[in-house]
Structure 1
Amino acid sequence: MRTEIIAVGTELLLGQIANTNAQWISQRMAELGLPVYSHAVVGDNLDRVAGSFREAARRSDIVIVTGGLGPTEDDLTRDAGSMILGKTVHEHAPSMERIEAYYKRNNKKMSLNNRKQSHVFEGAHVLDNMEGMAPGQIIQQGEVTWVFLPGVPREMKALMESGVIPYLQQSFSIQSEIVSEMLHFIGIGESDLETELQTLISGQTNPTLAPLASEGEVGLRLTATGETTEEAKAKIAEMKTTVLGKVGDFYYGSDDQTIEGTVQQLLSRHGYRLGAAESFTGGKFMERIISLPGASAVCQGGLTTYTAEMKEQVLDIPKYLIREYGTISHECAEMMALNTQSLLDVDVAVSFTGVAGPDSSEGKEPGTVFIGLQIKDKSPEVHRFQFPGGRDQVRERAVKKGFELLFHRLKN
C-alpha cells in the first residue's frame, strides 16, 4: 500500500509555519504498517491543488490531505476535490449545528461564509470534528482511499485517532508493523560506508538500508516490516549484525546515542578521568561532555587558554617552544596535552589549538587545527587537520573530531 500526504496552504510554502502535520501522520502510518511514500505541499491555487490531487491519484493507494477546509475563498481543497473526484458537495447538518452552536455559545455573530466549513463530499464517510468546525472526510474512489482533514494540528490528530486510523485498520486488515533503527558511524565517510555495504544496499528488500550523512559522521537507517513488532525487530537485529561485521569498527551507537555519550561510557569503563586544554574552541569540547548526566564521574575539568600568554602562564608552555614553533603547531598541541594531564591529574588529556578564521594566524591558513591526545603513560600523539567552512564550522568540526579520536583510541 502506497500512502501519500498532501498539505494545502501557501503559509507552509512561505515558511510561516512548519508542516508538522506530515511528520506526525507519517509516524502514525508507519506504526500501522502503511508506509508514506511521498509528501507534497501546495499553495492556495485551484489549478495547482487539483494538479497535485490528480498526480496523487495515479501513484498512491491512500491520499491524506490536510488543510484548505476553512471558510475563506482561498480554502480550495473542496473545490479541487470536486474537480478530481467528480463529487458534488452539500451541507452536513450535524456539523452545521455544531458551528452555529459555537457562535451562539460565545455570543458571536456567524458570517455566512462559515457555512462552507460544514460542506462535505457526496457519499463521504464523515468524521465529526469535536475540536473544531470543519469535519473530516473519507472517500473511496476506485482503488484510492481519500482522507480530508483540517490543517489545525489539534483537530487533525483527534480525527486521525478517533476516525481515520480505525477506518484504515478495518478496511485494509493491517497486519504488518514497521520498526526502524538508526546506526551511527564516525571516522568513515558516506561514500566509503556505502561502498563497504554495496552488496547489502543493492540487494535490500526487508530490511531496507538508507545511508544518511550528517556533520562529521554518517547514519545508516535500518527499516523492517513484520506481522508483529517482535518479528520486525528480529529482522533489524540480524541485519545489524551483518552490517557491523563489515563496518563495526566505526560504529558508536544507535538512535539517540551521541558520540560524546559513547566517549563518556568508554571513559567510565576504563575508570579514566578526562581533562582538556582548549584554545580556539573556547571550551566547547568540555561543554559537550559536561552537559551529559553523570559527567562528574569522568570529567576533571578544562582549561581555556586563548592567548600565548595564557598558554605560558596557565599551561606552563615554555616561551622558547612558542617562540620557535608558535602556538598553532604540533609541538604546542603536544605540550598542551602533556601538561594538562599533569596539571589536572587526569588519565586522559586532549588539547585543541588552531585557526578558526576568518584571517590567517602565525602563517597558518584558517581551518588549520592541531589536536593532541595523552592517554595514561602512552606516548603523546598529535593530529593535524585542515577543516573547511567558516569560523563556527571549523570550531564545531574540531570538537567533533576530538571526540572521534578519543572514541577510536579508547575502544581499543
Structure 2
Amino acid sequence: MITELISVGTEILLGNIVNTNSAYLSEKCALLGLSVYYQDVVGDNEGRMRDVIRTALDRSDVVILTGGLGPTEDDITKEVTADLMGMPLKEDSHSRKLIDKYLKEYEKNNSQRRITKNNYKQAMVPEGAIVLDNHNGTAPGLILEKKGKTAILLPGPPNELKPMFEEYVVPYLQKNQPEIIVSQMVKISGIGESQVAEEIQDLIESQTNPTIAPYAKTGEVHLRVTASAENEKACRKLIKPVVKELKKRFGENVFATDESKTLEEAVIDLLKEKDLKLSLAESLTGGMIAQRIVNVSGASEVFGYGFVTYSNKAKHKCLGVKKRTLKEQGAVSAKCAREMAKGACKASGADISISVTGLAGPGGGTKETPVGTVFIGCCYKGKAIAKEFHFTGNRMRIREQTTAHALAMLRDCIIMGR
C-alpha cells in the first residue's frame, strides 16, 4: 500500500521542535511492508492543510497525520480531514469520559489548574471513524475509512503517538497487509562502512527476498536483513541463511544480531564472560566512554575505576605517565596512550584498561599533529598497545568517534587476548 506521512504544526516549519515522529513512523511503516512515497510538513493553516491532505488522499492509499488534535483553535487536523472525507463530527461519549477522567487527575495534582471547556473539543470525532484511546494524554487517535482511502490521525507528542501506534495502528495495518515483514539486524564494529559495502556487494546485487540494507553509525555499521512472507516463521527461515553468511564474512567484527543490543552491552557481556575488571583513562573524551559503559545495567560488576586526566599534570600524578614522555613525545602520542593505559590498570588493579588522548580542536593542531589525531591505548594483563586514528568533524564529532572506536578496540583486545 502506498503510504504518506503528514506532520502538522507551524512549530515544525519554524524549527522550534525536531520532527522525530516522521523518522519513527517511516521505519515502522517499512517494517510493515508499506511503501512510504511521500512525507509532508504543513503549518496550522486551514487552506494549506486542506490542499496537502487532499493531494495525499488522491495519490496514496494510507495517509498518516500527526499533530493538530488538541483543544486549541489552531488544532484543526481532525476537522479538515473529516470534512474532506465527508464524515461529519459528533461527540463520542467514551472519549469524553476518558478526557474527563484524565483532566480531573491533572487538576488534582495542582490546585491552580482548572478544566476548561475547550478540552472537550477533543471528544468530537468523525462519524463512523475508529476511535483509538489515548492512555497518555487527552486527544484520541482516529482511523477514517472512505472509498478505499484511509486516514490515520495521531497526536503529536511522541510519548502519546508511539504507544498508540504500537497498540492500535500496527495491528490494524497488519490486518490489511497480504504479507508481513520481519527484519533482523547484524551489527558490526571495527571496520568502516565502505569496507563492509565492498564485502557484501555481491549479496546486494543478487538480492531479492530477503534484502540487506546498510546503515552507518558512529564507529559501527548495521546491516538490516528484511524478508517478506505469509507469516513470521517463513520470514525467519528466509533471514537465517543470510545472517549466517554475514557472520561468516565478518567474523568477530559482528558484535550483535539483536537490534536492541549496543556495543557497550556487548563489551560488558565479554568482560563478565571472561571475569575481567575494567578501568578507563580518558583525556579528550572527558568521561564519555565511562558514560556509555555505566549506561549498561550490571556494569558495576566489571567496571570500578574511571580516570579523567585532562592535564599533563593529572596524567603524571594519577596514571604515572612519565614526565619525559610528556616532554619529548607529548600528550598526544602512542607512548602517552600506552602509559596511560598501564597506569590505569596499576592504579585500579584492573585486568584491562582503555586510554584515549588526542586533539578534538578546533584549535591546537599542527602540521605534524593535526586536529582529529587520536591515540587509543589498551593494556591487557600488563601488555600495552596503542593505535593512531585520524577523525574529522567538529569537536563533539571527534569525541564521539573516539568513544565509539575505543569501545570497539576494547572489545577486539578482549577477544584477541592482547
Query: What's the TM-score, normalizing by structure 1?
Result: 0.76
Residue 27 (structure 1) shift: 7.2
Residue 343 (structure 1) shift: 3.5
User: What is the 5 A alignment of 1:145-184?
Assistant: 145-147=149-151, 149=153, 151=155, 172=176, 174-184=177-187
Give deviations 1:112-135, integer Å, cap 9, x for gaps. Answer: xx9999585xxx733457776899
Q: Tell me if 1:217 matches 2:217.
A: no
Which of 303-312 and 217-226 deviates more?
Answer: 303-312
Aligned counterpart for 1:126 among listed residues 119, 126, 129 = 129
Q: Tell me if 1:6 matches 2:6.
A: yes
Which of 330-339 and 361-370 deviates more?
Answer: 361-370
Instruction: Provide the residue aligned with 1:307 in structure 2.
Output: 311
SS, match of residue 411 in structure 1: helix
Instruction: Provide the residue aligned with 2:206 in structure 1.
Output: 203
Letter in 1 for 2:145: I
Looking at structure 1, the residues matched to 363 and 178 of structure 2 have their Cα atoms a distance apart, in angstroms, of 61
* Contact 1:136-1:148 at 8 Å conserved across structures: yes
Question: 1:193 and 1:119, CA in 2 relative to 1: closer, same or farther beyond 3 A?
Answer: same
Aligned counterpart for 1:235 among listed residues 238, 243, 253 = 238
Question: 1:51 and 1:239, CA in 2 relative to 1: closer, same or farther beyond 3 A?
Answer: farther
Looking at structure 2, the residues matched to 40 and 385 of structure 1 have their Cα atoms a distance apart, in angstroms, of 41
Question: 1:110 and 1:276, CA in 2 relative to 1: closer, same or farther beyond 3 A?
Answer: closer
SS, match of residue 292 in structure 1: coil
User: What is the 5 A alignment of 1:81-160?
Assistant: 87=86, 90=88, 92=90, 120=126, 125-127=128-130, 136=142, 138-141=144-147, 144-147=148-151, 149=153, 151=155
SS, match of residue 49 in structure 1: helix
Instruction: Provide the residue aligned with 1:369 in structure 2.
Output: 374
Q: Tell me if 1:406 matches 2:407.
A: no
- Structure with higher Rg: it is 1
Letter in 2 for 1:189: G
Which of 209-218 and 1-10 deviates more?
Answer: 1-10
Instruction: Provide the residue aligned with 2:108 in structure 1.
Output: none
Looking at structure 1, the residues matched to 355 and 196 of structure 2 have their Cα atoms a distance apart, in angstroms, of 29
Residue 13 (structure 1) shift: 2.6
Question: 1:158 and 1:256, CA in 2 relative to 1: closer, same or farther beyond 3 A?
Answer: closer
* Contact 1:95-1:134 at 8 Å conserved across structures: no
Looking at structure 1, the residues matched to 130 and 29 of structure 2 have their Cα atoms a distance apart, in angstroms, of 18
Give deviations 1:55-105, integer Å, cap 9, x for gaps. Answer: 43454322334455778478376557766x6x5x6464x559998xx99x9
Letter in 2 for 1:407: R
SS, match of residue 401 in structure 1: helix
Residue 228 (structure 1) shift: 2.1
SS, match of residue 285 in structure 2: coil
State percent identity of aligned pairs: 34
* Contact 1:67-1:77 at 8 Å conserved across structures: no
Aligned counterpart for 2:389 among listed residues 373, 385, 401 = 385
Q: Unaligned stretches of 5+ in structure 1?
A: none
Aligned counterpart for 2:399 among listed residues 375, 387, 395 = 395
Q: Tell me if 1:75 matches 2:76.
A: yes
Aligned counterpart for 2:190 among listed residues 187, 192, 201 = 187
Query: What's the TM-score, normalizing by structure 2?
Result: 0.76
Looking at structure 2, the residues matched to 164 and 361 of structure 1 have their Cα atoms a distance apart, in angstroms, of 53
* Contact 1:65-1:147 at 8 Å conserved across structures: yes
* Contact 1:207-1:223 at 8 Å conserved across structures: yes
